[in-house]
Amino acid sequence: MHAYPETLLSDARSQMADMIDYAVHDMKMDADEFFPLFLTSSACGQIERGDKTIILGLSGIELAQRVLTEKMSRSRFPVARPILKRSPEYWAGWILASYQWHSNRTFREIHSVIPFETLMQMYGTYHEAPEERFFETADKMLLENIPETRLKRIRTAFGCSQSELAAASGIGLRSIQMYEQRRKNINRAAGETLRTLSRTLGCSVDDILEP
């Protein structure tokens, strides 16, 4: 399951690419300084959820300015230079938007395993490759480095496989897999789904929610 409708993806890619390019090349900020500001901004979660008012309502430059206004109280900004050649930072924003949509992970979660410095090191290998190659590598990196979910720990302790949990609970196997891979946020699951899973595993709803 992707993060939001694919019809918004092209705009989200361009927005993220322009935002980071503007912050680095026009605002003269280090990407590792700017991106954490974006991660803690209100716009970050809105983009992750596919909020049309943000993705369609703001250019990448306006988004960068909004982040800096919110997080640093900036009020004066340089005019964006014409982009004659796409920078590595532009690619980084583009591929981050693509992967966040593809994986349905949060930007913060992606950044925790693939910080901006690492992403820039991947530019030479992946910027001309099909996006799927980057997705495969990123999936592997996140699965290897992110701790297992509470749902997986409780299911394992309960002594059942994902297939057995799916059969016993009536929750789809693919949904359980995606919750355990953090590709779907279990904290956003329907109340009935949470109650069914917890009842099947003999635990409370709070036990399977992520902190």
Domain parsing of the chain, residue ranges: 6-145, 150-208
pTM: 0.78
Tell me: the pLDDT tens digits for 74-119?
Answer: 999 999 988 888 999 999 999 999 999 998 888 998 999 999 999 9
Phi and psi based region of residue 163 (left: phi greater than 0; alpha: psi -120 to 50; beta: remaining): alpha
In this structure, CATH architecture of domain 150-208: Orthogonal Bundle (1.10)
Tokens of 31: 């990407």
Q: What is the pLDDT of residue 143?
A: 82
Instruction: Give the confidence band of 122 by pLDDT, cuts at 50, 70, 90.
Output: very high
